[in-house]
Every structure is written in structure tokens, then in C-alpha cells.
Amino acid sequence: MTYNVTIFGIHLKLNPIAFTLPIGKNGWDIYWYGIIIATGFLLAIIYAYKNAKRFNINLDRMLDVILVTTPVAILCARAYYLIFDGEKLSGIGEFFGVGSPNGFTGLAIYGGVIGAFGCGLLMCKLRKIKVLDMFDLASIGFLIGQGIGRWGNFMNQEAFGGPTGSSFFGMTSENVVSDFAAKGYDPTALAHPCFLYESIWCIAGFFVLNYFSKKRKFSGEIILMYCVWYGFGRGIIELLRTDSLMIGPFKVSCLLSFAICIAAVAVLILKRKKEKSDLNDKTYESVFSADNAASAVEDTENITKDITELETDIITEKDDLNDENS
């Protein structure tokens, strides 16, 4: 299987299969999609490993959380896709791709994120890791994985959008042509390369959040910023896509993205107001304490001065008395 792809005027031939292992009668195909996803995941782990101490996280405990959370996230990504795609399974085996004509295909990133945070919360409690610190670190790693992982969609020629209306800006392939024909678009039109938009957005977000993580004001700040950044970008990009999971007339990812974004903005505003208020209270207390200290010093100096004057008066009176006696 080879795709003839044209993107921004560049012609490419893409084979989604990287190589085939000599296993079974027909061999076992290894797809670029899986390799790219694994690469993004590995880079995210490396980042987390190198920055764990900055987030006050024990490395061994963090690895325990990752080992358990990863397979759970994959299963949740699969379940999320099947629920909203409406695909009917003839048996539990098809959930794992066994006996399915499409194999183990169909994963939804939001299902994976929800599964990762849910399982991560439980594992952090069990391994005695501060949850918000772990979530702050993980959110930056997510952006690495998502930014790189979207290129797996490019190799599979999926996750593209509607027509761009341009004769140069956009992409086309056999999948785009057939999808546009089925949806009533001009089959010769170029599609929005949504995978590229999201990849750029996530990689840019990685640099932004990594910068702010070094100036973190409170635990949980970075995960909230992730929700704002990714939620807003994903919501906008999802509006362009033609293969969105739907709930009635609405795109599931759009609803979820904007809801998460708005909620995170609200929490960030409230948290920062609270942090500012607490800082003002501490400043007031500090000034008040300083005033008390200054007043105490002044009182001490006055007492010392009075004692000195009293001693001087006593000495003077004693000298006068001695003079009279003599």
C-alpha cells in the first residue's frame, strides 16, 4: 500500500508500513504510525526523567506511575474511539484488533489523556507522589508526544480537514480524494493538513509551558495552562476536520476542548487572584511585624536612655551629698 501525496506542491510516495516481521503466514506489519507514536512517547519520558527533580518528584516512583498508566491510556483511547465512532464489535477480541478487518486501529487522543490522568491520579496516591506536581510535569510531556505523534496521522493519510480553497496551500492523496467525493466536496481540491497544524501548535506549546514551568507559582499551574493551550488549539483545528467523532450534530472533540479550555481559564484566574491575595497578606504581615519590631527597638532604646539618666542623677546626688558632709 503506497499513498501518492502532494502537500504544498511537494509530491511524495508514502508507505504506511515501515517493515514486516517474519511472523505467521503473512508476516507482522510494523507501521510508521506506531513507530512515530513510540518515538514521541520515548522523548516525553526522557524529558520527564531529566526534569523530575525540578518538580520535586522521585524518579523511581515516577517510573512506576508511567509503567502502569501507559497501557491503561492506550486502552482508554481505544474505548473512547469505539464509543463515539459507533463501531459495533462482534466480540471482545475485536477490541484488541483480533478478528477485526481493520486490526487494532482507531484511537482517540482525548480518551488516552483522560485515561492517563485518571490512572495517574490513582497511581500517584498509591506511590505517594504529589498529584499536581506530577500532572504539571506530565502535561509538558504530553505536548511532546502529541506534537510528534501527529506525523503518524500523516503517514496513514488521516486526520485531514476540508477544502482549503487554494491551489497550492493544502494536501491531497487517494484518501483525501475518496473522502471528499463521499462528502460532496470537489475531489480535486486540496485539504487542510490538520495533522501539521496540531503538530506545530503542540510543539510551540511545549516551549511555552517549559518556559513557564521554570517560573511556576503554584502546583497545578502548568496542567491548567496545558488545558487552556491544547483545548483552544484542538477546538479550532477540530472545526476544520472531516473525520470528527460526533454526538448528534456536534463534534465531540470541539465540545470537550472548548469546555476544558474555559474551565481551565476560570480556575487559573481564581488561583492567581488567591495567590496575589495571599502574597498581599504576607506582605502586610511582614510590614506589620517590621513596625512592631521597630517600635520594640525604640522602646528599648528609650528605657535604656531613662536608666542611664537615672544612674547619672543618682551619681550626681551622691557627689553633692559627699561635698556637703566634707
Which of 129-133, 147-151, 276-280 shows the lowest per-residue confidence on average (mean pLDDT)? 276-280
Does residue 141 register a pLDDT over 90?
yes
Q: What's the whole-model pTM score?
A: 0.78
Q: Alpha carbon of 146 to those of 44, 87, 138: distances in Å? A: 10, 25, 12
State the pLDDT confidence band at 310, using cuts at 50, 70 and 90. low
C-beta neighbour count of 231 within 10 angstroms: 21
Q: How far apart are CA 234 and CA 239, in angstroms?
A: 9
Higher pLDDT, 103 or 46: 46
Could you tell me which residue, 150 or 301, shows the higher pLDDT?
Answer: 150
Question: For the segment 188-200, what is each residue's pLDDT rounded down to a tens digit?
Answer: 999 999 999 999 9
Please report the pLDDT score of residue 88 as a whole number: 59
Mean pLDDT of the 63-83 span: 87
Task: Please tell me the predicted confidence (pLDDT) of residue 131.
Answer: 95
- Give the highest mean pLDDT range of 44-48, 312-316, 319-323: 44-48
pLDDT digits (tens, 9 = 90+) for 234-281: 999 999 998 887 888 889 889 999 999 999 999 999 998 888 776 565
List the chain domain ranges: 34-271
Residue 124 confidence (pLDDT): 94
Identify the burial level of 152 via C-beta atoms within 10 angstroms of its C-beta, where 0-12 means exposed, 13-18 middle and 19 or more buried: buried
Q: How far is residue 223's CA from residue 209's CA, in Å, rounded to a whole number?
A: 9
